[in-house]
C-alpha cells in the first residue's frame, strides 16, 4: 500500500499519530512533501518506522534552520541551568554576591569622599551612586554653586541628590521665579533640603499659597531669598495659624501681604510658643493689644526679638537705668527696636557720655530715655556736634543741661534746620534765650509750616504768649486760640508728650506698609 500524503496515514482498520511535516520543511529537501512510504503489514514495525521517520525529519530540520537552531540552543541553556552547568550564559550572582558588590562600591565612594575632606558617616542609610565618577559629578556641581566642603559636611545628605533629576530642576524653577543666581549659594547654605524637593508637589504649591497671602508676584523672589525655609512648610500648618492669629489681634488683613514681604519669618513662627507670648508680654506693661498690632504692621521684625533671650533682659535694663515702669509702654511704642538690640552696653555708654557733658544725675538719664528712647542708638560724634551748636547759641552750662533733659530730641535734629529756626527766633521773634530753655521743643516744629505763619498772626493780633502756647497745639486749636482776647493759663501745655492713642488710630492708605522695601533686601 502506498501513501502520498505526509499529513497522516489513513486506513480503515487503524489510525497513526500524524506529524505536522510542514513545520519541519527544509529548503534543502523539497521532495519531502512527496515522499512515498511503504506501509508494512506488521503494526509494530509500522509504528516504529513512523517514529523513526519523525526523528529523522527533526534532526534534518534542526541542523538546517537557523531559527529553530536558536530555539534548540535556548532549550539546551535552560537545561544546563536546571542541571547547574558551569557554562550557562544566564547564571545570576547570588544575593550575597550582590550585597558584597554594593559594599565594595560604597567603600570606594566613601574613600573618595574622605579623600576630599567630606565625612560620610551620615550617609550609611542613604542611596548613593555606585561609581566614584557620579559622586564626583555631584560634588563638582555643588562647588560650582558656591558650596564648600564645610557646607557639604554641614548637610551631607545633599550628596544623595541627583544632578539631573533633583538639583537642576529645582534651580531652574527658582530662577524662573526670579530668585537671583547670585543668591543661590546663601540660599542653599540656609536651606539645602530644597534640592530634595519636587517642583510640582512641594515648591509650586507653597509659591501659590504665598500669592494667596497677598504677596505680590514680583516680591515672591525676594521673600524666598530672605527666608528660603518657607519652601519646607506645610500649607495648613504654622503658616496659616500665625497669619490667623495676627488678624485676630487687630492686624489689618490688607497689611498681611506687606508684613510677610518685609518679614516672611513670621510664617515659621509658632503662635503658642513665639507670637502669643510676645504680644501678651507687651500688654503686661501697658501697651494695648491694638497698639501692639499697629507696631507689628509698621515693624513686623519685632516678632523676631527673642522674648527670653533679649526682650525681658532689655526691659529689666531700662528699669535698672531709672526708666519708670509706667513709662515702659511709651518707650517701647516710640522705639520698638529698643527691646531687640544689645541694650545694656548702649545705656552705659550714653549715660557716661551725657554725664561728662552736662553732669547728669541718675534720674535725669531715665527721663531722657523716656522722652527720646532713640538716644541709646545715637552716635557720639553727632551728639557732640549738637551740643557744640547749642553752646555756640549762647546757652550757659546750666541752660544747656535743662534743654537736653527737657527735649533730648535736639540731639538728633538736622543742624542746618536748627540754625535757620534759631536765626528766625533771634531776628524776627526777638525773644530771650530763656524762652528756648523753657520750651526747647521749639526746634522740633517746622519753620515754614508752623513757626512763621503762627508768629505773624500773633504779632498782627498784638498778643504776648509763650512758645508753648504758640506751638504746642494743632492748627485747628491755634485758630481757636487766636480769636481770644486773652490767654487762658489752663491752655498752656509745657511740652509735647507721646500719645498712645495716636498709635491705635486707623492707618491711611499712604501709611500702608504693603509695598516691598528694597532696603531690607
Retrieve residue 437's grid coordinates: 530753655
| pLDDT tens track for 419-434 | 999 999 999 999 999 9
Angstrom distance (rounded) from CA 198 to CA 100: 33
Q: Rounded mean pLDDT of the chain?
A: 82
**Residue in 123, 116, 120, 122 with CA at minimum distance from that of residue 139:** 116
- pLDDT value at residue 497: 63
- pLDDT value at residue 250: 95
- Report which secondary-structure segment, H or E, holds 263: none
State mean pLDDT over 36-51. 46
pLDDT at residue 74 above 90? no
**Residue in 180, 182, 113 with CA at minimum distance from that of residue 152:** 113
Q: Could you tell me which residues come within 8 angstroms of residue 418 by beta carbon, excluding any fewer than 6 positions away? A: 386, 389, 410, 443
pLDDT at residue 21 above 60? no
pLDDT at residue 59 above 80? no
Which residue in this structure is represented by grid cell 563638582? 140
Provide the 3-class DSSP secondary structure of residue 11.
Answer: strand
Distances (CA, A) of 437 to 356, 362, 367, 400, 495: 20, 21, 17, 8, 12
CB atoms within 10 A of CB 182: 10
Are 215 and 260 contacting, i.e. CB atoms less than 8 angstroms apart? yes
pLDDT at residue 502 above 80? no
* Residue of higher predicted confidence among 58 and 141: 141
Confidence of residue 55 (pLDDT cuts 50, 70, 90): very low
Angstrom distance (rounded) from CA 53 to CA 357: 129
pLDDT at residue 511 above 80? no
Angle at 98 between CA 96 and CA 101, to 5 degrees: 110
What count of residues does the chain have? 521
Are 18 and 8 contacting, i.e. CB atoms less than 8 angstroms apart? yes
Which residue in this structure is represented by grid cell 496515514? 9
* Residue of higher predicted confidence among 62 and 280: 280
- pLDDT value at residue 91: 56
Retrieve residue 294's grid coordinates: 499697629
Retrieve residue 33's grid coordinates: 512533501
- pLDDT value at residue 428: 94
- pLDDT value at residue 346: 96
Provide the 3-class DSSP secondary structure of residue 29.
Answer: coil
- pLDDT value at residue 128: 81
Angstrom distance (rounded) from CA 112 to CA 157: 16
pLDDT at residue 287 above 70? yes
Indicate the pairing of strand 2-3 with strand 37-38.
Answer: antiparallel
| pLDDT tens track for 385-404 | 999 999 999 999 999 999 99
| pLDDT tens track for 193-246 | 999 999 999 999 999 999 999 999 999 999 999 999 999 988 877 788 999 999
Angstrom distance (rounded) from CA 160 to CA 156: 8
> What is the percent of the chain where pLDDT is above 70?
76
- pLDDT value at residue 513: 45
- pLDDT value at residue 100: 74
Amino acid at each position: 500500500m502506498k501513501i502520498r500524503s505526509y499529513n497522516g496515514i489513513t486506513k480503515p482498520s487503524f489510525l497513526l499519530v500524524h506529524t505536522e511535516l510542514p513545520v519541519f520543511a527544509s529548503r534543502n529537501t523539497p521532495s519531502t512533501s512527496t515522499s512515498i512510504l511503504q506501509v508494512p503489514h506488521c503494526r509494530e514495525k509500522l509504528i516504529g518506522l513512523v517514529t523513526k521517520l519523525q526523528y529523522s525529519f527533526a534532526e534534518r530540520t534542526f541542523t538546517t534552520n537557523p531559527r529553530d537552531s536558536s530555539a534548540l540552543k535556548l532549550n539546551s541553556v535552560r537545561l544546563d541551568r536546571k542541571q547547574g552547568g558551569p557554562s550557562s550564559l544566564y547564571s545570576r550572582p547570588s544575593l550575597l554576591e550582590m550585597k558584597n558588590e554594593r559594599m565594595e562600591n560604597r567603600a570606594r565612594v566613601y574613600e573618595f569622599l574622605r579623600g576630599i575632606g567630606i565625612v560620610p558617616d551620615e550617609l550609611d542609610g542613604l542611596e548613593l551612586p555606585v561609581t566614584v565618577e557620579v559622586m564626583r559629578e555631584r560634588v563638582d556641581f555643588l562647588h560650582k554653586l558656591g558650596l564648600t566642603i564645610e557646607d557639604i559636611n554641614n548637610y551631607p545628605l545633599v550628596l544623595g541628590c541627583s544632578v539631573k533629576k533633583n538639583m537642576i530642576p529645582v534651580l531652574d524653577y527658582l530662577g524662573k521665579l526670579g530668585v537671583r543666581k547670585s543668591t543661590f549659594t546663601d540660599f542653599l547654605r540656609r536651606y539645602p533640603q530644597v534640592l530634595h524637593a519636587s517642583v510640582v508637589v512641594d515648591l509650586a504649591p507653597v509659591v501659590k499659597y504665598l500669592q494667596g497671602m497677598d504677596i505680590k508676584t514680583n516680591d515672591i523672589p525676594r521673600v524666598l531669598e530672605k527666608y528660603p525655609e518657607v519652601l519646607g512648610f506645610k500649607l495648613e500648618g504654622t503658616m496659616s495659624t500665625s497669619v490667623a492669629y495676627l488678624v485676630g489681634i487687630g492686624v489689618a488683613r490688607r497689611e498681611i501681604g506687606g508684613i510677610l514681604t518685609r518679614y516672611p519669618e513670621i510664617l515659621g513662627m509658632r503662635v503658642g510658643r513665639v507670637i502669643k507670648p510676645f504680644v501678651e508680654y507687651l500688654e503686661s506693661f501697658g501697651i494695648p493689644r491694638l497698639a501692639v498690632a499697629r507696631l507689628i504692621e509698621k515693624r513686623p521684625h519685632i516678632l523676631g526679638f527673642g522674648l527670653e533671650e533679649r526682650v525681658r533682659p532689655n526691659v529689666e535694663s531700662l528699669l535698672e537705668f531709672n526708666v519708670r515702669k509706667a513709662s515702659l509702654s511709651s518707650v517701647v511704642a516710640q522705639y520698638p527696636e529698643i527691646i531687640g538690640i544689645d541694650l545694656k552696653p548702649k545705656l552705659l555708654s550714653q549715660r557716661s557720655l551725657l554725664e561728662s557733658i552736662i553732669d547728669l544725675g541718675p534720674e535725669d538719664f531715665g527721663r531722657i530715655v523716656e522722652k527720646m528712647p532713640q538716644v541709646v542708638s545715637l552716635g557720639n560724634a553727632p551728639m557732640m556736634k549738637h551740643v557744640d551748636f547749642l553752646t555756640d547759641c549762647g546757652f550757659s552750662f546750666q541752660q544747656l543741661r535743662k534743654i537736653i533733659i527737657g527735649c533730648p530730641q535736639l540731639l538728633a535734629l538736622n543742624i542746618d534746620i536748627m540754625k535757620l529756626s534759631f536765626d528766625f527766633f533771634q531776628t524776627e521773634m526777638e525773644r530771650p534765650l530763656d524762652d528756648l530753655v523753657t520750651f526747647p521743643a521749639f526746634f522740633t516744629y517746622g519753620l515754614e509750616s508752623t513757626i512763621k505763619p503762627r508768629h505773624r498772626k500773633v504779632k498782627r493780633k498784638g498778643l504776648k504768649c509763650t512758645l508753648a502756647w504758640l506751638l504746642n497745639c494743632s492748627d485747628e486749636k491755634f485758630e481757636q486760640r487766636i480769636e481770644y482776647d486773652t490767654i487762658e493759663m489752663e491752655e498752656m501745655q509745657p511740652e509735647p508728650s507721646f500719645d498712645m492713642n495716636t498709635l491705635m488710630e486707623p492707618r491711611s492708605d499712604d501709611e500702608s506698609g504693603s509695598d516691598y522695601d528694597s532696603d531690607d533686601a
